[in-house]
Amino acid sequence: MTIGPIQLLVLGFPDPDFHGAIIAELERLRESGTVNVVDALAVHKDSDGGIEVAHLSNLSDEEAIELGSKVGALIGLGIDGEEGMAAGALEGAEEAAEGVGVFSDEDAWDVLAEIPDGSAAALVLLEHRWAIPLRDAIAEAGGFRISDGFISPLDLVAIGLVTAEEANQLHAFETATPSRT
C-alpha cells in the first residue's frame, strides 16, 4: 500500500462541542481521494490543565483502545486515561526501537502544552492522498524534502500575494479564539 504524506493538525476550540461541519468536510475530502483521516482524537483540558481524551471516529472506546491510537502513539498520549497514556508512550518507544525515527528532544513538539487550559482540541492525523504522485515524481527526479510548513497570511503581504487588509482578516480568522457565552 502506498501512503501519502502525513500531517498532524491541532485545531483549537473554546469547548469540546465539536460540530458536524468539520467531519462532513473531512468526509467529502476523503470521498474525493484528496485526504484520508488516519486517526483523530479530541482532547479537552480543564481549567487546571487536566486532560480528557476521546477518539473521534465510528469506533467505540474499546475498539479504539484495542486498535491503538496513531495520534496517541505519535505524541505519547493514550485514549484510556493513565493506562492509555502509558500504552501510547510504549507504542511510540517500540516504534523507535524498530528503527522508526521519532522526534528528538530538540525537535519534539509538545502538542498538549500548546492546548490552552479550559479549551478543547481536535488532533487530526491526515494522509494527503493528492500528494502521492507529486512526491513520487520528485523522488524519481532525485529530489527530496528538506522542510515544509504552512505560511502565515501575514507573511504573504511581503510577496504581494495578498493585501495587508486581506492578510489581517485571514490571520484573525485562522487564529481567533471565540469568547464563551
pLDDT for 115 equals 92
Q: Is the pLDDT of residue 92 over 70?
A: no
DSSP E strands: which ranges in the chain? 6-13, 35-45, 51-55, 119-128
As a whole number, the mean pLDDT across the chain is 79
Residue 103, classed as helix, strand or coil, is coil
For 116-129, b where at least 16 C-beta lie within 10 A, e where not — what string? eeebbbbbbbbbbb
Q: Is the pLDDT of residue 93 over 70?
A: no
36-66: pLDDT as tens digits: 888 888 889 999 999 888 877 655 556 555 5
**Cα-trace Rg, the chain:** 18
pLDDT for 144 equals 94
Domains in the chain: boundaries: 6-131
Q: Is the pLDDT of residue 104 over 90?
A: no
CB 109 within 8 A of CB 74: no
Q: Is the pLDDT of residue 32 over 90?
A: yes
pLDDT band at 101 (very low <50, low <70, confident <90, very high): very low
20-31: pLDDT as tens digits: 788 888 889 989
105-119: pLDDT as tens digits: 555 678 888 999 999
